[in-house]
Amino acid sequence: MHYIQQLAAGVIGDVESGKTLTEALAQAQRQGDLPPPERAALQDISYGSLRHLGRLRFWLRRLVAKPLPEARVERLLMVAMYQLTHTRAAEYAVVNEAVKMAERLEQGRFKGLVNGVLRNFLRQREALIAAADRDLEAATSHPRWWIKAMQKAYPQEWQRVLETNNSHPPMTLRVNRRHGDAKAYLDALRQAGMEGEALDDTAVLLARPVNVRELPGFAEGRVSVQDWGAQQAARLLDLQPGQHVLDACAAPGGKTCHMLEIADVDVTALDIDAQRLQRVRDNLDRIGLNATLLAADAGQADTFAEGRRFDRILADVPCSASGVVRRHPDIKWLRRPGDFAALARQQAAMVDALWPLLASGGKMLYATCSIFPEENQQQLTAFLSRHADAVCLEQRQLLPCERHDGFYYALLEKH
């Protein structure tokens, strides 16, 4: 266990230094050369520690008033406290293994401290939990600036959203309409010993997450994993047979595939990263459908448009990803208040570059996985002020809940 604790503490350190959790965890798993059960344990502890990092930091400062000169010891303590409060591991094993790990750091001079801090934590646990519940940043495990921004934007819902961010995400499936519907797929799930719930005619919410290899028909393209909120994009575009569609920032390809499952359209899937485009190709191959893939910058239309006009454009712009925090808990610790101005400029430049590619009477869907108004409603208002030929037909702000993540959509028509 102490090796898992060491790797998890390293993941937290990498995230604190600016790496994404995905990158840090992948590196730790390669470094550790772990068997599947231990890889799963490392992932659970890494994700869980970052979900609850605000609370863990609060407890650490209550137990050790001043920061320690060795940051790895602090991270080890937080990982152990996460295990003691959120896993089934035996308390004595967590403490003993953490002490073993401390023996390997700084010639073991923090061994006694680690032992004492964790035993104090166990003795004071109820009081520490109560104290954290009275501290807003610790109770919500979000940065204070994020909490304030949420309170301003959603005065009635901010607390529920922050609580949702700290929960485990649902696993939702998108049934390929060309191979049946949600009702038929639920029957297949039950035959395979799994349970789920139909959210609409092609969306199924699983009762429990499973490995995709266990899903009936997954390899044959009968079903894909996609959040229900993300599934709204293709539906909103009002796709009709024969239309030319541009999917800007297409990787990893979930929305690209969904559009092709819905209608016989000609899709150009664009992404700036050629390697990420391979994931789009892999997903298309699995479902047995095809699109034109282009590695290009959506903000520089002259490099790929070649005079073409599109009937539909999906502008899935780069954003803070504040709506998918429960899937990527590092986001709330990596983002800074100043990020939004830079993101807003990037988003505006992209949609302004894409708008001329839309045919008259065509529709463009502005999409983010953000819940902050600076990236959503405020961007829409600014865009409409710059483009007199644009009309907003519909906008939706989805907040994270038990059934879907957070997304924003604005459907624009060119007149």
Exposure b/e, 172-210, CB count within 10 A at least 16 = b: bbbbbeebbebeebbebbeeeebebeebeebbbbbeeee
CB 78 within 8 A of CB 49: yes
- Nearest CA to 271 among 291, 287, 294? 294
Rounded Cα gap, residues 83 and 92, in angstroms = 11
Instruction: Please give the helix or strand (H or E) that residue 35 lies within, else none.
Output: none
Sign of torsion, CA 339 340 344 350? positive
Rounded Cα gap, residues 94 and 79, in angstroms = 10
In terms of C-beta density within 10 A (0-12 exposed, 13-18 middle, 19 or more buried), how is residue 52 classed?
buried
> Cα–Cα distances in Å, from 183 out to 177, 201, 213?
11, 7, 21
Rounded Cα gap, residues 329 and 142, in angstroms = 10
Residues marked active site are found at 369
Rounded Cα gap, residues 161 and 306, in angstroms = 44
Contacts of 168 (CB under 8 A, 6+ apart): 326
Q: Decide: helix, strand or coil at residue 18.
A: coil
Rounded Cα gap, residues 391 and 414, in angstroms = 7
Rounded Cα gap, residues 287 and 218, in angstroms = 9
Rounded Cα gap, residues 410 and 287, in angstroms = 28
